[in-house]
Structure 1
Amino acid sequence: MAPSEHQQAPPPMTKILERCLVAPAPGTVKPSALPLTFFDYIFLPFHPVQRVFFYELPCSRLLFLSDHLPHLKLSLSLALLEFRPLAGSLVLPPQCSSPEVRCGDGDAVEFTVAECSDNFHYLAGNHARDAARLHPLVPQLLLPGVGSRRAPVLALQATIFPGVGVAVGIAVQHAVADGSTSAHFLKTWAATCRLGRKGVLGVSCVGGPPTYDRTVIRDPMRLGRTFLADLQMLREDSRMEAWDLAGRSDIVRGTFIVTNEKIQQLSQRFTSKTSLECSPYTLASGLVWVCLVKAKGLDDVGGDTTEHFGFVTGCRARMDPQAPATYFGNCLGICCVEASRSDLVGEDGAVAASTAIRKVIRGVEERGGAFRGAENWIRDIFRLAALGILTVAGSPKLGMYQVDFGWGRPRKVEMVSIERTGAMSIAEAKEEEGGGLEFGLVLPREEMARFSGFFADGLKQLSCSWS
């Protein structure tokens, strides 16, 4: 049974124990400046990405500070030796011209150490939880242009729950690092820490060192110039604020799992209706999209309208020539799916949703398909945000549950920043929970309750159909 909120007395508190700066280890020869590409420009208006990793670690505050914390700091310094731009600053010159990451001898990453009296298991659960309770566990970063044309790229925090566990929080500028780059850094930092505790010294770059060669990103469509012009034109546009739920007192966070068994049942139903095959990502996302449309009550609105679902697609392997898997930066394309509201709330709504998502993915897989309509990406983001498009953050391919600092794999990984970006998070579900896919949502409390009901009913109907 999930811990109830009335059990949390006295009110939970988070106490800052230390704020320090961790610099890259000496000897780095990484770039002193790293220009952004048109892929990076897409995410300049987005809030920093915040994640928190919960680990079970039943040790005292004293043991954590004396034993575990020094290893975290040393391994971070060593990891920054390879991921040097993360210690730098994102600089946005006037008129948005030539944004870049600048690195200097005095660069360092702010690292906060805190102690929290909140209920670790409540925060790391799947049930609906007060979204604001996770805020103290992640560091804050300002976007460049908010008070300054320069902003740190990365900030980190370790929060100890004495005798129970530890939470590692990260905030990173999306315009500098996509999910693949963030996962590459986190796994390298964690592996360096884990192996260091076993006496193995040196950086352990998981998958190889990052690649900083910007010449692999070609721009024959001159998207960089188009995107910068659009960003300048839209600099006072507030439509993306329609996504932002931060600050509302009725916001809760919930996690929903579509197990491998349920995905198989979804696949059987989809194939029986369409005679087509569909990926687990598409099937599960379609189900969640439909449940969310129903939860918002949009099916009660008169007239039929169009619903929108947005996701990003990895472009490293879709470049010509291909960019290496270890390329540092963003390399994502923007995709939008449209479907009739009446189709989504109908008897075969999940099939209709998955069919629409599948069609767009198939279009991306065609030669040049990932860049079809790319010149409109910036303007489309602002336009669709105002329409309340549901977007996807994260990917099961990132393997965030593999980030192990030596305490075992995380009990839970949460993407805190989705409450500001109109997104649902997606990750691989743990095998002990049935495998499959894990979805995170942040919604008003009543809407979350409705969604939970529709989601449970949808899974139950699958069991009845194929029992």
Structure 2
Amino acid sequence: MDSSSSSSSSSSTVAATVAVAAAAAAATTVVSKCRVHPSQASAMGDLKLSVSDLPMLSCHYIQKGVLLPRPPFPVQHLVSLLQLSLSRTLSLFPPLAGRLSTGSSGRVLISCNDEGVDLIHASAGDVLVADLLSPSRVPERFKSFFPLDRTVSYRGHWEPIVAVQVTELRDGVFIGCAANHAVVDGTSFWNFFNTFAEVSRIGERRFSKVPDFRRESVLISDAVLKIPEGGPTVTFNEDEPLSERIFSFTREAISRLKAKANDRKWSESEDGNFNAVEIMGKQMHDPYVTSGNVKLTPSFLGSWFAKQRGGAGTRVETAEISSFQALSALLWRSVTRARKLHASKTATFRMAVNCRHRLEPRLEAHYFGNAIQSIPTRAAAGEVLSRDLRWCAERLNRSVTEHGDAAVRGAVEEWEREPRLFPLGNADGASITMGSSPRFPMFDNDFGWGRPVAIRSGRANKFDGKISAFPGREGGGSVDLEVLLSPETMDGIESDLEFMQYVSQH
């Protein structure tokens, strides 16, 4: 062997050794794991899974968490605090401490049997908070901060329905939570997480967002879902190569986008009132919202709208494009363009909508469980690109507006005729699926030493075209979009001028 060959071999060996050492140093290691039980024994009986719950048995557990600055006390003390507060919180959410069970009839239930949940203490001491706040692609390291990775919800028969992992960073902590998607949707998940943080911060008291566990609505059915032999599996390729990025949009950028979608000229002076109108309009769908001593009922808000738009006799405009619909339309156009679809190919934009306020009579705002349905909007790719932003936004607006009580009940009846698991994914390569919501109180999770620095998710339910909407940390109507796309499509939207002109560069 000549000297150059020997030198090359030696360099390769050193490089390989360094790489292995770096990988070992970058590992997230488990320090401890314990089973946490409710502080009070459950008196709740079995709960039926609804027609909104059952299809999610083939989906991964929800994985969401908060990135926080380091607490002003030892992390071991934090773990003890979380163990105590989690135990107390589970007493308010008995189903989360239980397990799934299937009776002789084939119906799947939640047994509130106090078997408990897992609390994991992990360490990633080489990681700084700043390392995780990449302005471009989301670091893969986040995936190791969540328990029950890639666990299908059907496994709630054997696995805990909830697991929490607190990961110690060099200058912060990450508290990640995994929750069975056949037991909770985003509304129920964040109600639990918010309560967990509140109990950690101030202890036990009378909580305003007490979950409603009643099973009395049209969503509760005697239809039986047949589970495939060996249990359900996810309906998408878990190992598909994907790029993930958080795109941030300021309140001003979204306000400008909304004005464009509504064919209105935007000005900074109208920004405050423009967003106030939208916020009040959204509150018309929630019978529990108050402002000071005023109950924000539909009649009160209708009168308020009329005054804002020109006097008591002025008709309230009902076809206005919302900020989120305008943002969704922008994304639909950009992704469709980047995918280079044939003009005749059908492009689909799916939105998960909360049905609690759509049913008559309404479900309680804090109804516990899944109360969501997927609304598709379809158009030829050529039309999505040749028409303007308003045309796309109007179609999204129409789909959401028309999904009222009759549509929700119709979807329930259709599922009862043919019970099936939810086909999550992007089978035709031309779909976008929007989940989560910028209305969820994700930043209202102060465990005792400050608000989160960021919200992030794990590996669960991610495929080409999966989008999750989060509120922006600065509030005020800002939005973050967690976008999962093929690497080629992600490159395309990052160079799309129509899309990127609205994206915050900070």
Aligned to 2:34: 20
Aligned to 1:209: 210
Q: 2: CA distance between counterparts of 1:121 and 1:44?
A: 36
- Determine which structure has the larger helix proportion and give its number: 1
**Range 14-23 or range 407-416, more displaced:** 407-416
Please report how far the alpha carbon of residue 399 of structure 1 lies from its aligned counterpart in structure 2 after TM superposition.
Answer: 1.2
Contact 2:46 2:111 in 1 (8 A): yes
**Does 2:428 match 1:387?**
yes
Please report how far the alpha carbon of residue 32 of structure 1 lies from its aligned counterpart in structure 2 after TM superposition.
Answer: 3.6
Q: 2: CA distance between counterparts of 1:422 and 1:458?
A: 16
The 3 A distance-change label for structure 1 pair 101 and 271 is same
Residues 17-166 of structure 1 mapped to structure 2, 5 A cutoff: 17-26=31-40, 28-57=41-70, 63-65=74-76, 67-93=77-103, 97-105=106-114, 107-116=115-124, 117-130=126-139, 132-140=140-148, 142-143=151-152, 149-162=157-170, 164-166=171-173
The 3 A distance-change label for structure 1 pair 145 and 175 is closer
Amino acid at match of 1:362: T
For structure 1, the 5+ residue unaligned runs are 1-5, 197-201
The equivalent position to 2:235 in structure 1, one of 234, 241, 245, is 241
**Does 2:439 match 1:397?**
yes
Please report how far the alpha carbon of residue 234 of structure 1 lies from its aligned counterpart in structure 2 after TM superposition.
Answer: 10
Amino acid at match of 1:124: L
SS of match in other structure, 1:212: coil
CA RMSD of aligned residues (A): 3.2
SS of match in other structure, 1:356: helix
Please report how far the alpha carbon of residue 150 of structure 1 lies from its aligned counterpart in structure 2 after TM superposition.
Answer: 3.6
- In the TM superposition, what whole-angstrom CA distance separates every residue of 1:198-226 from its partner, at most 9, and x where no partner exists? xxxx2553x332121112x135xx8651x
Please report how far the alpha carbon of residue 397 of structure 1 lies from its aligned counterpart in structure 2 after TM superposition.
Answer: 1.7
Give the TM-score normalised by the residue count of structure 2.
0.76
- In the TM superposition, what whole-angstrom CA distance separates every residue of 1:161-212 from its partner, at most 9, and x where no partner exists? 03x110011111111011111111111110111114xxxxx2553x332121
Aligned to 1:199: none
Asked which structure has the greater CA Rg, the reply is: 2
The equivalent position to 1:263 in structure 2, one of 254, 264, 276, is 254
**Range 167-176 or range 320-329, more displaced:** 320-329
The 3 A distance-change label for structure 1 pair 291 and 191 is same
Residues 339-354 of structure 1 mapped to structure 2, 5 A cutoff: 339-346=379-386, 348=388, 350-354=389-393
Aligned to 1:10: 22
The 3 A distance-change label for structure 1 pair 7 and 408 is farther
Aligned length: 426
Give the TM-score normalised by the residue count of structure 1.
0.82
- In the TM superposition, what whole-angstrom CA distance separates every residue of 1:38-57 from its partner, at most 9, and x where no partner exists? 12113122111111211121
Q: 2: CA distance between counterparts of 1:93 and 1:16?
A: 36
Q: 2: CA distance between counterparts of 1:188 and 1:461?
A: 34
**Does 2:397 match 1:406?**
no
- In the TM superposition, what whole-angstrom CA distance separates every residue of 1:125-155 from its partner, at most 9, and x where no partner exists? 342134x322210001633656x95432111
Q: 1: CA distance between counterparts of 2:413 and 2:425?
A: 15
Aligned to 1:325: 365
The 3 A distance-change label for structure 1 pair 355 and 266 is same
Aligned to 1:191: 198
Please report how far the alpha carbon of residue 442 of structure 1 lies from its aligned counterpart in structure 2 after TM superposition.
Answer: 2.1
- In the TM superposition, what whole-angstrom CA distance separates every residue of 1:406-446 from its partner, at most 9, and x where no partner exists? 131111111222425852100111227x7422100123333
Contact 2:57 2:421 in 1 (8 A): no
**Range 420-429 or range 269-278, more displaced:** 269-278
Please report how far the alpha carbon of residue 93 of structure 1 lies from its aligned counterpart in structure 2 after TM superposition.
Answer: 4.8
Aligned to 2:243: 252
Aligned to 2:187: 180
The 3 A distance-change label for structure 1 pair 91 and 33 is same
Contact 2:472 2:479 in 1 (8 A): yes
Aligned to 1:3: none
Aligned to 1:296: 339
Please report how far the alpha carbon of residue 347 of structure 1 lies from its aligned counterpart in structure 2 after TM superposition.
Answer: 5.9
**Does 2:317 match 1:278?**
no
- In the TM superposition, what whole-angstrom CA distance separates every residue of 1:349-368 from its partner, at most 9, and x where no partner exists? x3332121011012114x52
**Does 2:406 match 1:368?**
yes
Percent identity over paired residues: 24
Please report how far the alpha carbon of residue 449 of structure 1 lies from its aligned counterpart in structure 2 after TM superposition.
Answer: 2.2
The 3 A distance-change label for structure 1 pair 401 and 418 is farther
Contact 1:91 1:144 in 2 (8 A): no
**Does 2:454 match 1:447?**
no
SS of match in other structure, 1:409: coil
